[in-house]
Structure 1
């Protein structure tokens, strides 16, 4: 029997899932070929490690116990928080949100009372405002 054929049947040999005649052929080859025997020993130790690390079945009531504990904890939190706090907290967050939006609008407005000279154009005030029109992107990328 050739080494390639033994390698393909080795896992079945180690699990004792081959026919008796094939088991004898593989064993005979392993007795004769030291490389295949070493490979078989490594495979056997790997299978032993995998067998030891198999996950055990979970407790069937684990989920129900965790769910009950979470519900109990949730109920305790609801009782611990006063009713007034449960009402005022969303109101306070809503007011803060509205103040933030209002502040954003106020910051984004352009000032109306600024004294700007009529001789200054917008391009002079902000010289690099529209820089991409002055220089095409192709020349920028080619440099």
Structure 2
């Protein structure tokens, strides 16, 4: 058996999940090959560390705390009926405030458009003066 084959089957060998013939073949290879035997020992150590870390410590009061929290939630549901009204009234209040803001914006925009019409007229009155500047090039003015 080759070293690559043994290393790929080593985890199954250590967990004793291989068929009997393959287990014997891997064991024979480990007896002959020192590199694979060292690798198998390192793998055993690693798996033993993982196995000890895998089992969590049991807290004896875990069940009582979970049960107490579940009972507290049931009593909170019975006592608190007010959040239902808050959940309904809060979006309604926000909608009203939003509509008032939109209305105020429209009114402010309407009053501002009268001012802009006055400025448009003032700009139109200034246009003939600006067009007169095109008739006289600036370079000749600066050269004189």
**Partner of 1:11 in structure 2?**
11
Comparing 25-34 with 6-15, greater Cα deviation is found at: 25-34
Q: How far apart are 1:95 and its partner, in Å?
A: 3.1
TM-score (norm 1): 0.54
CA distance in 1 between counterparts of 2:86 and 2:73 reads 25
Rg larger for: 2
Q: Which residue is 2:25 aligned to?
A: 25
Aligned to 1:18, the other structure's residue is in SS state coil
RMSD between aligned residues: 3.7
Write the deviation string for residues 89-109 of structure 1: whole angstroms up to 9, x where unpaired.
Answer: 844652343122321342355
Q: Which has the higher helix share?
A: 2
Alpha-carbon distance, 1:26 to partner: 1.4
Please list, as runs of the form range in 1=range in 2, the aligned pairs for 1:112-127 lying within 5 A after superposition.
112-114=113-115, 115-118=118-121, 120=123
Corresponding pairs, count = 111
Q: Provide, for residues 64-103 of structure 1, a one-character-per-residue CA deviation record: whole Å limited to 9, x for no partner.
A: 945544222222333xx5xxx9757844652343122321
Alpha-carbon separation, structure 1, partners of 2:18 and 2:105? 80
Using structure 2 for the length normalisation, give the TM-score: 0.53
